[in-house]
Structure 1
Amino acid sequence: MSTVAAEPAGVWRDVVGQGPALAVLQRAVADEAAMTHAWLFTGPPGSGRSVAARAFAGALMCARGGCGECKECATALDGTHADVDVLSTEALSIGVAQARELVQLAGRAPSVGRWRVILVEDADRLTEHSGNALLKALEEPTPRTVWLLCAPAPDDVLVTVRSRSRHVRLRTPAVEDVAVLLIRRDGIDPPMAHYSARAAQSHIGMARRLATDEGARIRRRDTITLATRIRGVSDAVGAAADLVQIAEEERDKVLTDRLAEEKAKLLATLGAEAGARTQPPHVRAQITALEKSQKTRATRFTRDMIDRSLTDLLSVYRDALVVRTGATVGLINEDARSVVDEVARALTSEQILRAMDAIGVARRRIDANVAPLLALESMAIDLTLP
């Protein structure tokens, strides 16, 4: 029997598998007595934290509580509403200057809507200093201003910030829920939608990428087959290099054209000639600042892609443990059953658990700014098959 719940409507239509959280948010929209000045949305990657926060912003702006059809809903969802300010950083952290700009915005009264909404999509990237810059605004909120903060988990946010926010916990949606979304929203064929949702482990953004990009599917296949190819130290070193290369190829595919467009747009804004051999000093300064920002963004994107690859690799060992123990749960990599079975035959349950732990250690080291290649080489040696 299907466990898929009734699909949400209006601005909530893309918030899948989050019934309890939706009930809290919809109650707050309908009854101001249930509102608070700051909300913290947490949930695992791909659960739709920012999607839920934007939907909440739209519902707060809408005279009908989030119809999904009016201008207020549409502009709040795409971040262009005059009273909805969105900070979505692509840097490794949010600086004090950015935090202070948000505080200034939060001090203004709504211009056209009922509320002024400040949405911070990466509140986990607030540093101690930038977080402290927000405290006064959170402690003494401006009337009709609402803060929406998003982070993977409460512990990822400074305790002084999260203690002043109301927590909304999102969960990993069911595979079926994600597949239904891909079919309805993106027009994906049902078999591909179900494969992508399962392979992405219900990460909505990654599921869409797998469903629409054959290159992403090939890169994922190359990642999971590494589990059977590491037979010695030289294989381990090569596998680590392959993981970095996979991430860099994904980065180049996604960012190259976008970065070039940003530079061209900057030159056009400054009235500079794109093909000129030299540029005036003020133009060179602007280009240097942009290139620095783009380099930081590329570094973060590469690390995010490496982490995603490690999540895919981890799923092979998870499946191998399922096969090894005879557990009656579905496999993530049913389409790569030969890889799963080979790992299950080669390793004991204890060895599989140690391999999973090695992947977890590598993820934490990279998150702590260890050079990715070094962390991956150490991990890959621990993944060597007998």
Structure 2
Amino acid sequence: MSTMDTLRGVWADLPGQDQAVDALRRAAALGAPSHAWLFTGPPGSGRSNAARSFAAALQCDVADPEARGCGACRPCRMVMAGTHPDVSLIATEKVAYQIDDVRELISKAQDRPSSGTWRIIIVEDADRMTERTTNVLLKSIEEPPPHTIWILCAPSPADVLVTIRSRCRPVTLGVPAREAVAELLVRRDGLTPEQADFAARVSQSHIGIARRLARDEGARLRRDRTVRLPLRLGSVSDAVIAAGDLVELSTAEATASAEERGAADTAALRESLGLETDAPVPPQLRSQFKALEELNKRRAKRGVNDSLDRALIDLTTFYRDVLTLQLSTGSELVNAYLERELGEVARRSTPEQTLARIGHIAEARRRITANVQPLLAMEAMMAGLLPARNQGDPQA
């Protein structure tokens, strides 16, 4: 099947995933899919988009089985818009799913479809489930109601307990080619080929981030400031300042995003309750607004961690490019616009030192995941990125 064949209907926004799309289209056409699926792939590969597209194809009401996922019928449009009553897309705003969250999903799975063929539950970030929480889900995955389909999404099969993944049909997504992502941005978002190519390259083919970088000048400036941080590191005091800047930048971005979403959710809650924008909240409704406030706090916390992790990925590309120059691999530089600066760093250090610095960044990512205080994790990392003559020298 050609690429053009896959770029139709609900499958149109899954560039470079022809093999996975072929398998999903066949499953939808058969009309009797497996009851549990595990979609895996690196960040930006389109796991959630693929899951939603598959759900739309399963609910599609076109007569021709081979054409399911048309993207034009009412069920397809509702699923892709997130409004289909029988398709639930679940994502936690917490650091990890709680047992009560999973029990609520299990209860939902017992409901019969109200209008569609299937009751479909898509769980984003299934890797955020603890072992205890996952075990609560296991029985429902093993013996679901005949009308229910579970779709779990995670970065890799290893991120999900073997007892779960052994009961799911796997769908593996890869990193799409840069050209495929650029083509999507031109076609879907109206970007120029130059804008799309730059965004696809520096995002390393992460579709969502590529789109944000292409459309948001502030995001481009924040990324540029992040990847230039190593150029400022000359002393321990520089490392401390750079660590503070990185945390401040990530916190500000995450907080602004959480506040914007919180304001929209509050407005939606007021509208659903029939309250005017400035009307006081009646005492009997205050608990709902308090719950929303707590949710926004959790979003902000998770947002800081996610924003920091993304910044660290961007920082890794700096040293990846340095290593590329040191080893003369001929690979294309992610940050080609910094080629002169990268060359200077490459000449002043060795490949072994560069690999050690990549290791320091990886360790910082692990510490953030383990809920180490962000500033402490960043300061330790930045000290490890210092030029060799200044590491551990308080007088430098």
Q: Same fold (TM over 0.5)?
A: yes
Mapped to 1, the partners of 2:336 and 2:276 lie a distance apart of 54
Q: List per-residue Cα deviations over 1:153-192 (Å, max 9, x = no partner).
A: 1121222222211111111111111100100010011101
Q: Pick which of 161-170 and 318-327 moved more.
A: 161-170
Question: Alignment length, in residue pairs?
Answer: 381
Partner of 2:11: 12
> What's the offset of the Cα at 1:127?
2.5
Instruction: Select which of 335, 338, 363 maps to 1:336.
Output: 338
Name the structure 2 match of 1:235.
238
Q: CA deviation at 1:103?
A: 1.4
| Secondary structure, aligned partner of 2:244 | helix
Question: How far, CA to CA, are the matches of 1:353 and 1:127 in structure 2?
Answer: 32
Alpha carbons 2:40, 2:155 under 8 Å: kept:
yes
Deviation, structure 1 residue 274: 5.8
Relative to structure 2, which stretch is displaced further, 152-161 or 213-222? 152-161
2:58 aligns to what?
Answer: 60
Q: CA deviation at 1:338?
A: 2.6
Aligned to 2:265: 262
Give yes or no for contact 1:46–1:172 (8 Å, CA) kept in 2: yes
CA distance, structure 2, for counterparts of residue 265 and residue 114 of structure 1: 30
2:48 counterpart (47, 50, 64): 50
Q: 1:77-226, aligned counterparts within 5 Å?
A: 77-226=80-229
Normalising to structure 2: TM-score of the pair? 0.91
Q: Which moved more, 1:280-289 or 1:338-347?
A: 280-289
TM-score (norm 1): 0.94
Structure 2 runs not aligned, ≥5 long: 63-67, 389-396
Which is further off, 211-220 or 103-112? 103-112
For the 8 Å contact 1:227–1:339, the answer to whether it is kept is no
Bigger mean CA offset, 374-383 vs 73-82: 73-82
2:394 aligns with: none
- Identify unmatched segments of 5+ residues in structure 1: none
Distance in 2, matches of 1:192 and 1:108, equals: 46
Displaced runs of 4 or more, over 4 A: 267-276, 278-281
Q: Distance in 2 between matches of 1:357 and 1:181?
A: 33
Q: Is the 8 A contact 1:199 1:333 kept in 2?
A: yes
Root mean square deviation of aligned Cα: 1.8
Counterpart amino acid of residue 328 in structure 1: G
Alpha-carbon contact 2:258-2:299 (below 8 Å) kept? no
SS at match of 1:80: coil
Aligned amino acid, residue 122 of structure 2: L
Q: 1:69 — aligned with what?
A: 72
Is the Cα–Cα contact under 8 Å of residues 99 and 136 in structure 2 kept in the other structure?
yes
Aligned pair partner of 1:379 in 373, 378, 381: 381
The C-alpha deviation readout for 1:202-258, integer Å capped at 9, x for no partner, is 111000000000000000110011011111110111111111122123224423222
Q: Report percent identity of matched pairs.
A: 50
The residue number in structure 1 matching 2:65 is none
